[in-house]
Amino acid sequence: MQPEPKKCYICGRESVFYSEYLKQALCKKHLERMLTKRIRSTLISKNYKQRKFRLSSDGSDGYKIEKFVFREDANSSLKLMNFTLEDFSLSVLDYFLTGSKPKQKIGSKTFFNPLYNTSDLEIAAFLASKGEKTKPRKITKRQKYLMDFIRDIEKRRPGGMLSMVKMGEKIGII
Ligand SMILES: [Zn+2]
């Protein structure tokens, strides 16, 4: 791994996150701007028209970041779920290894996962920059094994998780 550059590539301030995939270091402000924009645009790219959403308050890091990014409305017809890029790449990998169909879809008429292309690491950096506590997810031994495998792929080929998720979408399993 290359050493982390210290300066934000946009404004030159001290960075809080380095994306191996984008090869960009970002300060607090620009990390927030980049993630907020990306997470919101997932809805637009999938043609959801709602502007307010029901959130799934499960106390996960995904829920915490969604609270920053979206406006809540208990009566909205669209519920936002908190599964992340890691969750979806795990289930796609599992499908290829065992044939077991993923339980979670990216979205439907009634729910959507706006973090499906955002990594746990990006979410954790965002929350840390807001002074929010993050907690490691609870995973089984098998998921841990698959996760280590995925982290290894990502290290050798940044963007590997995204490619896996795109493949899963293409063949219609997530
Ligand atoms: Zn910056």
DSSP 105-153: -SB-SSEE-TTTTS-HHHHHHHHHHTT----PPP--HHHHHHHHHHHHH
Domains in the chain with CATH codes: 32-170 (3.40.50.620)
Ligand 1 center from residue 29 Cα (angstroms): 6
Taking only the tens place, the pLDDT of each residue in 137-157 is 888 999 899 999 999 999 999
Taking only the tens place, the pLDDT of each residue in 17-30 is 999 888 899 999 99
Taking only the tens place, the pLDDT of each residue in 93-146 is 999 999 999 999 999 999 999 999 999 999 999 999 999 989 888 889 998 999
Residue the block writes with tokens 């879809």: 105
Ligand 1 center from residue 7 Cα (angstroms): 8
Ligand 1 center from residue 150 Cα (angstroms): 29
How deeply is 90 buried, as exposed, middle or buried, from its count of CB atoms within 10 A (0-12, 13-18, 19+)? buried
Ligand 1 center from residue 17 Cα (angstroms): 10
Query: Strand 52-55 vs strand 24-26: parallel, antiparallel, or unpaired?
Result: unpaired
CB atoms within 10 A of CB 60: 20
Ligand 1 center from residue 128 Cα (angstroms): 16
